Amino acid sequence: MYELHSRLKLVLYATAIPGTLVLSWLTGLIGLPCLIIGLLLFVSFFVILPLIFRCSVTLQRGILFLTFITYPKGLDLTNPASIGLYATRNFYITVKDHDEDETGVRIGVWHVLPKNAVRRFKRELHVEQAYDEDEASRTANDLTPVSSSIGDNNEELQQLAPSLRAEFPVIVPENEQLFYERLLRVPGGTVVLYLHGNTATRGSGHRSEVYKLLRQLNYHVFSFDYRGYADSDAVAPTEEGVVRDAMMVFEYIANVTSNPIFIWGHSLGTGVAAHMVAKLSSMKERGPRGVILESPFTNIRDEIRLHPFSRPFRHLPWYDFTISRPMYDNRLRFESDKHVREFPQPIMIVHAEDDVVVPFHLGYKLYRAALDKRSRSWGPVEFHRFDRAHGYGHKYLCRAPEMPTLVQNFVENYRNAIY
């Protein structure tokens, strides 16, 4: 009975517009030319356009990854200090998709130093003025970070500072990589690899706010642009491709330091994060100590049906045939509800009730899937709801006053835990 009702509802949606046009013509409200034009527009928008989408994997990838949307305009990604990220190294990693890949794909990466390291080496880094101004601004706005002695490696930095200053009296391009990697290896530190969502670049405003939050917590932060984005090579992204990019950045970090690494994925980046960690687990490779999923979804099929862009099409009888099924067949899936069952690390999910891009209930549905399907001996799964009254929406949970404490507690609880 329910299935019959659903089918009748779909038929109603599909025939509502043409039926209204025909009825208006029959009653004389519109003329024959208007009827023909209206029907042509209906067929073009609701039939031909979905069929074109079904047949074009390029269009499917374009709509999913939105690499053509870039902001802020004119941002120089080689100069992170231009958006307030002083003491940040810009560099590039070459990702090879297979052993026979001779050229590979070049992706742009940022390494943001933690606050305690910047404070100790601000003279050598030539960021004294920027650091002091930043601290003065934070003090004026009462933005003092949560204090903690766990995982901030202050004692180790203090002991190593004299020898590091002797070796690096000044940081110049020729020794920058060596200096940053030496700081990354200092025992007791924590690293966060941030995986951004679709559109724009690693330098977008809300993303840089996350980096600054994590810097204040004394974490090393890595962020990068997937293939096809920003100053990374203009290669058409695929799910396997962007997951490969993330794995290579993770591998770079893991090869430099034995300090614990956490993954933070946002929006589409949550799909990349879950897939990547599941893949590392299946390969028996070193994985992160924990995974933070901000505004996540269950899978692309669920997300695209509920996305605002699909609103005109989602009730059409041929929606699955023309839109969701072709994306699945072309391996654009990001099945986080499947991948969270494939790795043992603890997970923290954060989601705002007023998120209109990835609806709140998809994040909660993912949480329930993780609770129900993961082994009881694996790491815990946390879920934190943010009331719609705060207006954080899809991108600004980093502005929640409780976010630093949530992140810090999660990191401190699991930085030494191995599942």
Q: Can you read off the two tokens belonging to residue 242? A: 């962007």
- In the set 208, 267, 324, 336, the catalytic residue is 267
Residue-by-residue DSSP string for 316-341 = STTHIIIIIHHHHHTT----HHHHTT
**What distance in Å separates the CA atoms of residue 222 and residue 119, rounded to the nearest whole number?**
19
The residue type found at 200 is A
Buried b (16+ CB within 10 A) or exposed e, 9-20: eeeeebeeeeee
- In the set 134, 231, 245, 355, the catalytic residue is 355
Is residue 267 part of the annotated active site? The answer reads: yes
Tokens 């990854």 -> residue: 65
**3-state SS assignment for residue 190:** coil
- In the set 196, 339, 351, 394, the catalytic residue is 394
Instruction: Find, among 370, 398, 377, the residue nearest to 386 by Cα.
Output: 398
- How many CA atoms are closer than 13 Å to the CA of 265, on its beta-carbon side? 27
**3-state SS assignment for residue 3:** helix
Instruction: Find, among 115, 259, 287, 120, the residue nearest to 190 by Cα.
Output: 259
Active site residues: 267, 355, 394
